[in-house]
Structure 1
């Protein structure tokens, strides 16, 4: 893969919007819904369309549709389907979405609406799903949803692994890499636990640099055709500076979102999951 990773800086041309405002029914231990406050707050299809029109007028290229999940572990996006379809048709924007668990009908619905990229969290730990994320899901439910999304959903599927979501420990993440070998993803995005004040994980140490490098090395070995991505969720400062340097020096990362260190080359003003065929440079 790339000797020098590609750089992705989504703001301001590819913002993240929460279609549930600040509401989330799960209140995961590592977030408690606080991350939603950093997103553009959208609470109706009409406001979503207005936002998309303003985004287009300002030179934006698209947005990541996110928000709080319900108790079933999914984003309640159904009221927005027609608005997404209209924005896609009339404005030509690129849309990615964090939908959560999908069945055949909802995956097909997303595809038909014009969503370009499905950002799917691959969580293969019953403990994390039930005791950290507070769902009634099992890892078998996640595996079934993953297969459903690849079979019936939008063209591009971007698997995400939130490393350290089990109170800083790394374990099930290796199984997730093994599972993804069957799908040969174009990218695999690693998000790293960020201790957030006001959550039960506020004082949990994120995974060590050495453990993260080993995880990336395993992914590189097992997913030869996949671009490995250091996503935007990670502790900033010396931690990420060291992590970025280690991964780059060892050739273990192909894309870096919002880098802390200086990386030569063009800046892609979009989400780090954007397929190469759709990218635009600054």
Structure 2
């Protein structure tokens, strides 16, 4: 049976840019940021983390809106991150975006535990859906940089169906990850959101998703496959979860719709077992 992850409330997601995002991707338009804890200054992040620690929190995911270079503007928060790690000993993960070597080293030296990296290998998606300047070669270069110079743990993410519901480049992303033997690969699946250009796009079919997971299982033999928190709820995810479990294609599920008789881990599904299994609630 897959491991069960329920991050809220002990491992919340924080937007360090508030509701601001320069990209306005066609599948989000910045609306997802409204579901996160809104933090817009280093002092407020430190105060939030202190309260989180007092409430028995485990850590948090630092996210937010990206700039046109496809990066989360985290530099003003580096000293605060270092302080949180040293004084509060919370787990910290981050959606950094596309980094250069100096930025990757900066994140590692700050004490960030996990870099959650989006592996998007489609020039069309990067330019016409996400509206970023980098191309897929820049993403591949940044992937290598973050594995070589970044935080100790890297959890690659694939946003499936971001090309208006179609699956294509995702297979190339799986191939690219074979060189890094990741401990986990997290699949996020398009959720049509009202108020965006993709509001009425159908998410990928269950059969296409099962085929994608099966390919990842075959090509990444040592990698745990995770069904992340971004996916359409209801019958769609119930059917998907059931099919993936029946075929033995999923090792981690975040906030499962299906009842799974396993202990709950109150963290992001990106944490390595050596860390996450400390936080099992039986």
Local SS of the residue matching 2:162: coil
Q: SS state of the match for residue 88, structure 1? A: helix
Q: What displacement does 1:161 show?
A: 0.2
State the TM-score, normalizing by the size of structure 2.
0.99
Matched, 1:112 2:136: no
Q: In the alignment, what sits opposite 1:157?
A: 154
Report what 1:135 is aligned to.
Answer: 132
| Alignment counterpart, residue 240 of structure 2, candidates 221, 243, 255 | 243
Q: In structure 1, what is the equivalent of residue 123 of structure 2?
A: 126
Q: CA RMSD in A?
A: 0.3
Counterpart CA distance in 2 for 1:135 and 1:17 is 22
Give secondary structure in 1 for the equivalent of 2:85: helix
Post-superposition offset of 1:137: 1.2
Q: Which runs of 4+ in 1 moved over 2 A?
A: none
**1:45 aligns with one of 42, 47, 51:** 42
- The offset of 1:136, in angstroms, is 1.5
Cα offset, 1:265, TM superposition: 1.1
SS in 2 for 1:158: strand
Distance 1:211 1:181 in 2: 21
Structure 1 Cα separation of the partners of residues 132 and 37 of structure 2 = 25
C-alpha distance in 2, partners of 1:71/1:251?
39
Whether 1:66 and 2:63 are equivalent positions in the alignment is: yes
Aligned residue-pair number: 279
Between the aligned partners of 2:28 and 2:145, the Cα distance in structure 1 is 27
Secondary structure in 2 aligned to 1:81?
helix
CA–CA separation in structure 2 for the residues paired with 1:23 and 1:134? 15
Report SS of the residue matched to 1:220.
Answer: helix
Question: Deviations 1:218-255 (Å, cap 9, x if unpaired)?
Answer: 00000000000000000000000000000000000000
Aligned equivalents of 1:82 and 1:138: distance in 2?
30
Q: Distance in 2 between matches of 1:134 and 1:162?
A: 16
* 1:199 match: secondary structure: coil
Q: Distance in 1 between matches of 2:90 and 2:60?
A: 8
Query: Residues of 2 paired with 1:259 and 1:211: CA distance?
Result: 20
CA distance in structure 1 between the aligned counterparts of 2:111 and 2:145, rounded to whole angstroms: 17
CA distance in 1, matches of 2:56, 2:37: 17
C-alpha deviations, 1:165-198, integer Å up to 9, x for none? 0000000000000010000000000000000000
